[in-house]
Structure 1
Amino acid sequence: MTTLTLVKKTSFTVASLATTMLLSICTPVRAFMFGTAGIQFDEDTNINFTFDQSHGAYQSSLWVAQAQSGNTGYTNIARLFYETKPSDNGSANDWQGSFGNAVTSENRSITQTFKFLQDQTYALLLWSDSGTGQPLEQYASSSTFMNSPEWFAANTQYRRDDCLVAGCQQAVFGDFNLDYSSSDSFTSVNGGKGPEQYSLLTMAQLAQGTKISFDDAGGGNDVDFQDFTLSAQLAPETMTQQAQRRQIPLNGDFTVPAELAAEPVPEPVTVFGSMLGLGALAAARRKKKRGQQR
């Protein structure tokens, strides 16, 4: 199976290097996260991923990628689903692809189980062939910070130039709506809620089952988040183990108990660190602009 590494560039400006250092110091380690900041669990955790549908002319594959030491790179380690052709029937239904027709998996099952190892950092990567015949031509990451020019795919000519240094969101998580028959924006379809409001999942959402959907950066990066959709759910055996560890009774239908449903609250130091980082970048841009005007 082909593997490819996504690498963070080392040619930082002084300001971006300082920002990275400040964020590293100010941001505490998070035991659990599942969203645009990354994927991490405080114990080995099995997640069931079930394919829903794909749209768009790109031919894509969805991988789990694991961070290398220091988060300087991510390596593909498991292919969950992949398209054998761009769609079921040409451009019909916005290039719709369904499982068993345009989409399949290594074991031909519509549900794939992946074990996330304790304290390891992961991301989901949607790799696409935009028509060149190269299946790993470009990517969209579930982790927003990887969707910026600061990252590139090793051993390819692909470079992302359409997002700011801070990255851009290419995946949404949670109970959102998609309208494949409408040209309205994601925000309009979701009653004024933008993609940033669908950026992380709680353990309760994972236990009950929830959606993940990608924008593959095609079509001028229209961010409609309709290009590759699946669901994610905590595997029953994992849910049982967590309930037993916390000595919480679990219903026979695996309904998540209230004790596992707490919303993650950002720690003040994390918010401060993020604001400090953005401020450093803004200051660097202003200084550069003043220098060009002289």
Structure 2
Amino acid sequence: MNTKLLSALTATAAATALFGAGAPAQAFSFGTNGITFSQDTSVKFNFKESHGGYTSSLGIYTVKDSAATLVNTLFSETKSSDNESQNEWKGTLGNTVLGSGSAVFTFLANQIYTLGLNSGGNGSVYSTSALNSDSQQAVFGGKSSLGSALDTKTTKTFGAAGSYTDGIGSLFNGGTLISFDDRGGGNDKDFQDFTVSAEAVPEPMTMTGLALGLGGLVAARRRRASKTTS
């Protein structure tokens, strides 16, 4: 590959990377203040594990006039845990939650959403604190930071919850963890009752732009080669 073509390819890749890196700036909110985007945004969710003593389901809700309406169920438990109270009511994929454990949802531009955890007779809690009478029932944070904090938790109160209220930065950069407290155990606030990861799905336009750019560079090289031989 000649030097000019290599330089052009590098420039195209850099431009594409910058386009992708700009994605977080368009998001209004993804945390305990609500979920809102300024353009349609697809997010991939993966179930991690649960530690609630109830049979729970996690869904996406639209919010209007302080009322939440279910629009999509992401994950549902078939039982409260793998083996009753063992390992703090631990529930895992393939045992407590069936299926692939992965779901993609497209959030529509300028619509207000929240995540909601319904735990049967224990009721529902939402990722948006205002919908819980201003009680924080979910934490958001990068996989490394929040993951380490949750891994060391027991059923004791998670005192650092207030430090994990916004996942927008990591949503577009490696993914964020979201973990709920379902108000069980006297609302013990251990934030381990239902945990998922979330990561923004790259826009098809990003990859299409790179492909078109590479295609144009190859075509230009062929034209130059043709002129040289003629």
TM-score after normalising by structure 1: 0.57
User: Displacement, 1:195?
Assistant: 1.2
User: Displacement, 1:31?
Assistant: 5.5
Match in the other structure for 2:125 = 140
1:181-220 matches, within 5 Å, as 182-187=154-159, 194-220=160-186
User: Displacement, 1:203?
Assistant: 4.1
User: Displacement, 1:74?
Assistant: 1.7
Cα distance in 2 between the residues matched to 1:144 and 1:183 = 21
CA deviation string 1:19-59 (max 9, x = no partner): xxxxxxxxxxx951000000011110000000000002111
Match in the other structure for 2:136 = 169
Corresponding residue SS for 2:173:
helix
Call closer, same or farther: CA 1:203–1:179 in 2, change over 3 Å: closer
Call closer, same or farther: CA 1:52–1:31 in 2, change over 3 Å: closer
Greater RCO structure (CA 8 Å; 6+ sep): 2
Deviation >6 Å, runs of 4+: none
- Of stretches 217-226 and 172-181 in structure 1, the one that deviates more from structure 2 is 172-181
Match in the other structure for 2:61 = 65
Q: List runs of 5+ in structure 2 lacking aligned partners.
A: 1-25, 210-230
Q: List runs of 5+ in structure 1 lacking aligned partners.
A: 1-29, 131-136, 149-166, 188-193, 245-294
Contact 1:31 1:119 in 2 (8 A): no
Match in the other structure for 2:7 = none
CA deviation string 1:242-274 (max 9, x = no partner): x96xxxxxxxxxxxxxxxxxxxxxxxxxxxxxx
Give % identity: 45
- Say whether 1:78 aligns with 2:72: yes
- Say whether 1:101 aligns with 2:95: yes
Match in the other structure for 1:54 = 50
Cα distance in 1 between the residues matched to 2:56 and 2:155 = 22
State the Cα RMSD in Å. 2.2
Call closer, same or farther: CA 1:60–1:180 in 2, change over 3 Å: farther
Match in the other structure for 2:16 = none
Call closer, same or farther: CA 1:61–1:67 in 2, change over 3 Å: same
Contact 1:206 1:232 in 2 (8 A): no
1:210-249 matches, within 5 Å, as 210-237=176-203, 240=206
1:15-34 matches, within 5 Å, as 32-34=28-30
Cα distance in 1 between the residues matched to 2:152 and 2:53 = 14
Aligned pair count reads 179
Cα distance in 1 between the residues matched to 2:168 and 2:96 = 32
TM-score after normalising by structure 2: 0.72
User: Displacement, 1:73?
Assistant: 1.7
Match in the other structure for 1:16 = none
Cα distance in 2 between the residues matched to 1:126 and 1:180 = 23
Contact 1:126 1:141 in 2 (8 A): yes
Corresponding residue SS for 1:76:
strand
Contact 1:172 1:212 in 2 (8 A): yes
- State the AA in 2 paired with 1:44: D
Which entry has the higher C-alpha Rg, 1 or 2?
A: 2
Cα distance in 1 between the residues matched to 2:77 and 2:107 = 24
Call closer, same or farther: CA 1:141–1:181 in 2, change over 3 Å: closer
